[in-house]
A and B are shown apart, each in its own frame.
Chain A
Amino acid sequence: MTDAAPPPQGAKSPGAVPTVQARARSERRILTPEGVPLIFQLAERGERAAAVMIDLVIMVIALVVFVMAIAFTLSELGISGAAIGLAILVSFLIRNFYFIFFELRWQGQTPGKRALGIRVIDRKGGYLRPGAVFSRNLLREVELFLPLTLFFGVDLSGSSGWVNFLTLGWVALCLLLPFFNKDRLRAGDLVAGTWVVSSPKALLLDDVAAGSQRDPGSIKGGSIKGGSIKGGSAKGKSAKRGGAVVLDPEFPFTRDQLEIYGIYELQTLEEVLRQRGPQSGETRREVAKRIQRKIDWAHGDAAARNDIEAELFLKAFYAALRAHLEARMLFGERRENKYAGKTGGKLGGKTGPNGNGTPPGKS
């Protein structure tokens, strides 16, 4: 079991993230006029293919509906001749202007793209210009419709061998182009200067740390110092090794215990805490057990027995760890993961809150 394993369940929840490595590879930045870069994730090739499929299905349905409606109304009126002309026109318009119309109207989205949560943006960060929309969709003619007509319905036996060979080569080139560049551009994107990025609508969920933020009044004694994180040497209630960083008297974590993990582990823990579902309790119990083992938690292993205890423990640990790491970040130290800035795991444990959501038995 590796810590780099992606969190398969977590990735689908609204507040979740893909793994750090995958993120960095597909991350693209656009500098806003305000000088703050916005970070976008390139859309997956599969997502884009699915979006096109949805759009094609809609186009076919629209075509059938329109043609039927035209044929019906006009033959009712007794001018069936015009119906054929109108039908040709409508099918032409749908075929060539469906994508253009929606991408102009919805600022880079079509119904398929909207369903998949992806959109077209300008690579330079400007607004999506009409010329770009035209170009990228006109190229569909050779990228999409040519292969489609080749695969369905057109008999190639009539034309000569080398023409077939060239055409198939061209089709293969166009279809494979997105796999051969790191920006996943198809020919249309190249010509129009666009990216297709995923634009998920992230929801603002409750802060996981909020639950463990106790009412100040409930904290007993005056020994807890809010500034102790910064000082680093302030004495806590249960300072066993090093200065204690105490947020919560019931879970007195020491500085050493909080030094073990990094940001990656913290955010994975966040995912674990946000998980909902029948297995989430079990996962949390397992993760709590591992953390307790790893940090040598000496305050009993109640967490392993009880779902509620486990969640309380994890929340407290999350809050403490976040406070610790954020404080270090203020001093310019960003500890990306548990391996960063360490010569070797002194506690030797190979487990961590990797939060891959697997039930205990499988790991």
Chain B
Amino acid sequence: MSTSNSSLKSYEFRREREKSWRALEDMVRRAEKRGLKSLPAEDLLRLPTLYRATLSSLSVARAISLDQNVLNYLESLCARAYFQVYGPRASLMERIASFLRHGFPAAVRETRGPILLATLWMVLGIVIGFLLVQSNADWYYTFVGWDMAGGRTPAASTESLRNGLYDGADSAAEGLYIFATYLFSHNAGIGMFAFALGFALGIPTVLLMFYNGLTLGAFLALYDSRGLTWDLVGWLAVHGTTELTAIVLCGGGGLVLASAIIFPDRQSRMESLARRGRAAGTLIMGAVLMLFVAGLLEGFARQLVTDITARYVIGGAMLVFWLSYFALSGRGSGGRKQHLDDD
């Protein structure tokens, strides 16, 4: 005579395996709470085994069991364990380091096309802005907002414009913190916005690049008319080489999104957007870091360094640094492998 228990196979099945499920659940709960690294070594060794055993339980349970609770439990437990087993191994700090060494420069190299396109639009803006303001100074007020101009208008005297370049807007050391952080958060906000607007088919991104160029061109034309071109370029170069590069990167990121929507590659539109969108996100994070550096340079270095040669040296050095960083960093075999892991 067989027992009644044996007729419910799923009941037996559960009784035999329940212990290992509970063990896995306990392990996963601890890992979720305090991170995988908090588990003792023996648990770490057992985790994949238990996970695979439970996954096979799930697959069997789907075939033989109608106990909804057991199915739900296994489903949820396997998902949670899956995230732990196949989650990222590196800690946050390690990931930041790998991002700086490989991820960011690789993303820049990968998207150089859209970045160049964004640069082109900005240069176009500069040229047009310059020419228009040169032909008629009234254009200046169209391109440069009142708050941005801060008294630097065609109506201002040459002397006051020159002083503006060399005195620094806030020369009190205390004010520099505020100035630097304000500049950083303001610019980074614009950069992120330029990226996000890429989702609207990139048109606002292009306009933003172009408009930024117009403003810059208008400034140049104004100072050029007073013979202060090189003083202005020096003043801008300190932080501008970093800042404009970062803004152009953000614009490039936005155009990546747009191009993935308009020109999907062989995959579906959604897949190509997802794939390229991730790369663009990496790009923007790096650009935000660059804008932070730019904010420091703008807030401190530009206000403290008033010698024009020194300004050119700083600006030039930063430009060389960024370009060689993008061109060279993370190209080694280790970087290549890391990058492939990421993608």
Instruction: State how many angstroms separate the Cβ of A40 from the closest Cβ of chain B.
Output: 7
Contact B10 A322 (CB under 8 A): yes
Mark each residue of chain A from 219 to 234: 1 if its CB lies under 8 Å from any CB of chain B, else 0: 1001011110100000
Residue of B nearest to A332 (CB): B63
**Which residues of chain B are within 8 angstroms of A274 by Cβ–Cβ distance?**
69
Instruction: State how many angstroms separate the Cβ of B81 from the closest Cβ of chain A.
Output: 10
Contact A81 B192 (CB under 8 A): no
Contact B86 A193 (CB under 8 A): no
**Which residues of chain A are within 8 angstroms of B69 by Cβ–Cβ distance?**
15, 202, 204-205, 207-208, 270, 274
Contact B66 A135 (CB under 8 A): no
- Is B22 located at the chain interface by the 8 A CB criterion? yes
- Is A60 located at the chain interface by the 8 A CB criterion? no
Contact B52 A34 (CB under 8 A): yes
- Is A350 located at the chain interface by the 8 A CB criterion? no
**Which residues of chain B are within 8 angstroms of A225 by Cβ–Cβ distance?**
1-2
User: Roughly how many angstroms separate A302 CA and B55 CA in the complex, as a whole number?
Assistant: 43
User: Roughly how many angstroms separate A143 CA and B195 CA in the complex, as a whole number?
Assistant: 12
Contacts A134-B281, A187-B199, A270-B69 given; indicate if A89 touches B4 (C-beta within 8 A). no
Residue of B nearest to A92 (CB): B185
Residue of B nearest to A268 (CB): B68
Contact A204 B3 (CB under 8 A): no
Contacts A81-B177, A204-B22, A213-B11 given; indicate if A138 touches B82 (C-beta within 8 A). no
User: Roughly how many angstroms separate A91 CA and B182 CA in the complex, as a whole number?
Assistant: 11
- Is B153 located at the chain interface by the 8 A CB criterion? no
Mark each residue of chain B from 99 to 118: 1 if its CB lies under 8 Å from any CB of chain A, else 0: 10001000100000000000
Tell me the number of A-to-B contacts counted with CB atoms below 8 Å.
Answer: 240
User: Roughly how many angstroms separate A81 CA and B181 CA in the complex, as a whole number?
Assistant: 12
- Is B174 located at the chain interface by the 8 A CB criterion? yes
- Is A142 located at the chain interface by the 8 A CB criterion? yes
User: Roughly how many angstroms separate A127 CA and B89 CA in the complex, as a whole number?
Assistant: 10
**Which residues of chain A are within 8 angstroms of B83 by Cβ–Cβ distance?**
107-108, 121, 127
The B172-187 residues at the A interface (CB cut-off 8 A) are: 174-175, 177-182, 184-185
Instruction: State how many angstroms separate the Cβ of B302 from the closest Cβ of chain A.
Output: 16
Mark each residue of chain A from 286 to 324: 1 if its CB lies under 8 Å from any CB of chain B, else 0: 000000000000000000000000000000000100110
Instruction: State how many angstroms separate the Cβ of B250 from the closest Cβ of chain A.
Output: 10
The A309-363 residues at the B interface (CB cut-off 8 A) are: 319, 322-323, 325-327, 329-330
- Is B232 located at the chain interface by the 8 A CB criterion? no
User: Roughly how many angstroms separate A207 CA and B278 CA in the complex, as a whole number?
Assistant: 45
Residue of B nearest to A319 (CB): B8
Instruction: State how many angstroms separate the Cβ of B111 from the closest Cβ of chain A.
Output: 12
Contact A204 B18 (CB under 8 A): yes
Instruction: State how many angstroms separate the Cβ of B253 from the closest Cβ of chain A.
Output: 9
Which stretch of B141-149, B212-220, B268-276 is in the interface?
B268-276
Determine which of A82, A131, A187, A325 lies in contact with B177 in the assembled complex, contact meaning CB atoms within 8 Å: A82
- Is B6 located at the chain interface by the 8 A CB criterion? yes
- Is B80 located at the chain interface by the 8 A CB criterion? yes
- Is B317 located at the chain interface by the 8 A CB criterion? no
- Is B135 located at the chain interface by the 8 A CB criterion? no
- Is A150 located at the chain interface by the 8 A CB criterion? no
Contacts A201-B76, A204-B22, A224-B1 given; indicate if A209 touches B87 (C-beta within 8 A). no
Contact B66 A82 (CB under 8 A): no
Contact A202 B73 (CB under 8 A): yes
Instruction: State how many angstroms separate the Cβ of B168 from the closest Cβ of chain A.
Output: 16
Contact A138 B11 (CB under 8 A): no
User: Roughly how many angstroms separate A124 CA and B22 CA in the complex, as a whole number?
Assistant: 28
Determine which of A36, A126, A194, A319 lies in contact with B55 in the assembled complex, contact meaning CB atoms within 8 Å: A36
Residue of B nearest to A222 (CB): B1
Mark each residue of chain A from 114 to 128: 1 if its CB lies under 8 Å from any CB of chain B, else 0: 000000010100111
User: Roughly how many angstroms separate A82 CA and B179 CA in the complex, as a whole number?
Assistant: 10
Determine which of B8, B18, B55, B175 lies in contact with A323 in the assembled complex, contact meaning CB atoms within 8 Å: B8
Interface size class, chain B: 35 or more
**Which residues of chain A are within 8 angstroms of B270 by Cβ–Cβ distance?**
190, 193
- Is B56 located at the chain interface by the 8 A CB criterion? yes
- Is B159 located at the chain interface by the 8 A CB criterion? no
**Which residues of chain B are within 8 angstroms of A319 by Cβ–Cβ distance?**
8
**Which residues of chain A are within 8 angstroms of B274 by Cβ–Cβ distance?**
123, 132, 190-194
Contacts A81-B175, A141-B192 given; indicate if A227 touches B199 (C-beta within 8 A). no
Instruction: State how many angstroms separate the Cβ of B311 from the closest Cβ of chain A.
Output: 23
User: Roughly how many angstroms separate A194 CA and B273 CA in the complex, as a whole number?
Assistant: 11
Contact B92 A216 (CB under 8 A): no
Contact B199 A139 (CB under 8 A): yes
Determine which of B4, B103, B177 lies in contact with A84 in the assembled complex, contact meaning CB atoms within 8 Å: B177
- Is B316 located at the chain interface by the 8 A CB criterion? no
**Which residues of chain B are within 8 angstroms of A329 by Cβ–Cβ distance?**
63-64, 66
Instruction: State how many angstroms separate the Cβ of B241 from the closest Cβ of chain A.
Output: 23
- Is B70 located at the chain interface by the 8 A CB criterion? yes
Instruction: State how many angstroms separate the Cβ of B85 from the closest Cβ of chain A.
Output: 9
Contact B73 A203 (CB under 8 A): yes
Residue of B nearest to A134 (CB): B281
User: Roughly how many angstroms separate A329 CA and B65 CA in the complex, as a whole number?
Assistant: 9
Contact A209 B67 (CB under 8 A): yes
Residue of A nearest to B279 (CB): A131
Instruction: State how many angstroms separate the Cβ of B105 from the closest Cβ of chain A.
Output: 14
Mark each residue of chain A from 240 to 270: 1 if its CB lies under 8 Å from any CB of chain B, else 0: 0000000110000000000000010011001
Contact B9 A326 (CB under 8 A): yes
User: Roughly how many angstroms separate A142 CA and B193 CA in the complex, as a whole number?
Assistant: 7
User: Roughly how many angstroms separate A192 CA and B63 CA in the complex, as a whole number?
Assistant: 34
Report, nearest first, the 10 A-B pairs whose CB atoms are least far apart: A193-B274, A226-B2, A135-B281, A85-B177, A134-B281, A191-B277, A81-B174, A131-B278, A92-B185, A15-B69
In the complex, given contacts A138-B195, A193-B275, A204-B70, what are 7 additional A-B residue pairs having Cβ atoms less than 8 angstroms apart?
Answer: A36-B78, A85-B180, A96-B188, A104-B95, A143-B196, A200-B72, A216-B1
Q: Give the interface of B toward A (CB within 8 A).
A: 1-11, 14, 18, 21-22, 25, 52, 55-56, 58-59, 63-70, 72-73, 75-80, 82-83, 86-88, 92, 95, 99, 103, 107, 174-175, 177-182, 184-185, 188-189, 192-193, 195-197, 199-200, 257, 270-271, 273-275, 277-282, 284-285, 288, 342
16 A-B residue contacts at CB 8 Å?
A: A36-B78, A85-B177, A85-B181, A96-B192, A132-B281, A135-B277, A138-B192, A142-B199, A190-B199, A193-B271, A201-B80, A207-B14, A208-B69, A209-B11, A322-B8, A329-B64
